Structure 1
């Protein structure tokens, strides 16, 4: 394989993971004035419109050839809708760094779910990685005492399981269908579901200031259009193990942004917990295939 192509894919993947980490900061800021479902609906519908206008011919052509793209996109969209809804509501009750760390423990949950699906007991390395990550999660969420594990942390844990399910669904769906088209269509499904839910449970409204619009556009164009659509493109050129290691940058990015821009503090025990989570994620990602 062309080394330059691999290097470009690695740079792209790192950029997407970092963008995902930055999204926690933008989302938490916008949630001060917007409901989580409203933010989710507007963000993903705007992203879908941008992507669909640019890639209209390709998406329509692929759907005409393979109508199962719609059902695959609906299933993937439902998993991500659950993940993102729990994430945004959780962000209202906990810090962006804690939310990012907990949600990205999904990288460790994935091999456990796969083991159940294929009825094969996880390897010793996977078990040890899960143990390390579980200790890290306990340290980062319970560093202030048992009372610090509240609704926000609980919702972030649900988001982690939904994220893990989405990763597995993404793997299954993109093996049989056009990954790029699924990447676009499922974004539309997420936006529609979120906006419908927003009209039921919230009072939807658009951003009120120029700063809010700028943050929304950053979430739409960079974190959604790129992060949710180009990940399959990047992973075509690099191994799953390498991609898994790079996902460790996600919570690290969120923690750094929260510390620099939002004055979010983390206790020494919480910092050690975060390091353990990253170690667990990396150890699982580097497990040999089979």
Structure 2
């Protein structure tokens, strides 16, 4: 695929918003539950996207609705693990762990798209797991449940990226993006209905955070991602996405006043170097 600088810039902007996602989600969780946040976020994203992009959605192919369903399931699992995980870890930790998806992408691509794996990827994985340990192990050498969930999230997000790349080749990326929002919202509402009593949040900070999440981090972010993955190589996309922990760390420090220990800085730096290296090899 021929590189195009404007698509690189679009993806950098998306990465900045995704770095902000972790901080805004933690703010929303102060006033509501995980399933409420996910269902409201994606309901708003679907309505906003459909309102402004409906002319670009139609005509709809039946297979696009099916592919959107698959992407919706994957992204729903991504956000369940990430949102619950954020309740028990810092926004900075979460962003570093989720960024490990770039390392898993070549493995899943080799299985799904029959691409050959490079041998040095296994060495990088060893260093990545060392980085995870430094970043997430507490003084008693125990992983926190939030860190484990965010690590699982990185695996699920890698699957999502691989399937997006597979599905957007011969389908409308906007249709896939918009309808995956609808499916995620439906999944969330159906699951929360029998186990949680719905309560409508009234806090102003909650709604400001949720609107930013819905409009910029979700509607804009994931639809642009679908379009960009038609235009630029996975190497460039992976490199740009690896910048996400830096933006999250900056926002976490400014908004949530999060602080890292020396051990966590070393672990985060090691993870970042692994992600950068692998993104160049994808």
- Structure 2 vs 1, CA of residues 32 and 130 (structure 1 numbering), >3 Å: closer, same or farther? same
Deviations 1:249-280 (A, max 9, x none): 11121122112221212111111111111111
* Aligned match of 1:83: 78
In structure 1, distance between residues paired with 2:194 and 2:167: 31
Q: Is residue 2:238 matched to residue 1:244?
A: yes
Per-residue CA shift, 1:186-243, capped at 9, x if unaligned?
1111111112222222222233122221111101111011111111223344322111
Shift of 1:118: 5.6
Map Cα deviations across residues 106-125 of structure 1 (whole Å, 9 max, x no partner): 11011122334466763123
> 2: CA distance between counterparts of 1:114 and 1:2?
20
RMSD: 1.9
* Other-structure match for 2:49: 51
Q: How many Å separate the matches in 2 of 1:40 and 1:170?
A: 20
Contact 2:34 2:83 (8 Å CA) reproduced: yes
Alpha-carbon distance in structure 1 between the residues aligned to 2:154 and 2:2: 35
1:2 Cα shift?
9.3
Quick one: which of 19, 26, 46 aligns to 2:17? 19
Structure 1 residues 158 and 42: CA distance shift in structure 2, 3 A: same
| TM-aligned CA distance change 1:11 to 1:120, over 3 Å | closer
5+ residue gaps, structure 2: none
Could you say if the C-alpha distance between residues 118 and 223 of structure 1 is closer, same or farther in structure 2, counting changes exceeding 3 Å? Answer: closer
Match of 2:96 in 1: 101
Q: TM-score, normalized by length of structure 2?
A: 0.94
Q: How does 1:116-265 map to 2 (within 5 A)?
A: 116-117=111-112, 122-142=117-137, 144-147=139-142, 149-265=143-259
- Shift in Å at residue 145 of structure 1? 3.7
- Of the structure 1 ranges 267-276 and 200-209, higher mean CA displacement relative to structure 2 is found in 200-209
- Cα distance in 2, alignment partners of residues 184 and 18 from structure 1: 21
Distance change >3 Å, CA 29–CA 123, structure 1 → 2:
same
- Contact 1:21/1:252 (<8 A) preserved: yes
Contact 1:35 1:204 in 2 (8 A): no
Equivalent residues of 2:105, 2:158 under 8 A apart:
yes
Moved more, 107-116 or 266-275: 107-116
Of 264, 270, 283, which residue of structure 1 is paired with 2:264? 270
| CA displacement, residues 55-82 of structure 1 (integer Å, 9 cap, x when unaligned) | 2233231x1xx21001100001000000
1:35 CA drift (Å)? 0.5
CA distance in 2, matches of 1:118, 1:180: 23
Q: 1:233 to 1:118 in 2, by over 3 A?
A: closer
Question: Which residue number corresponds to residue 33 of structure 2?
Answer: 35
Partner of 2:63: 68
Return the alpha-carbon distance in structure 2 between the equivalents of residues 57 and 210 of structure 1: 33
Normalised TM-score (structure 1):
0.91
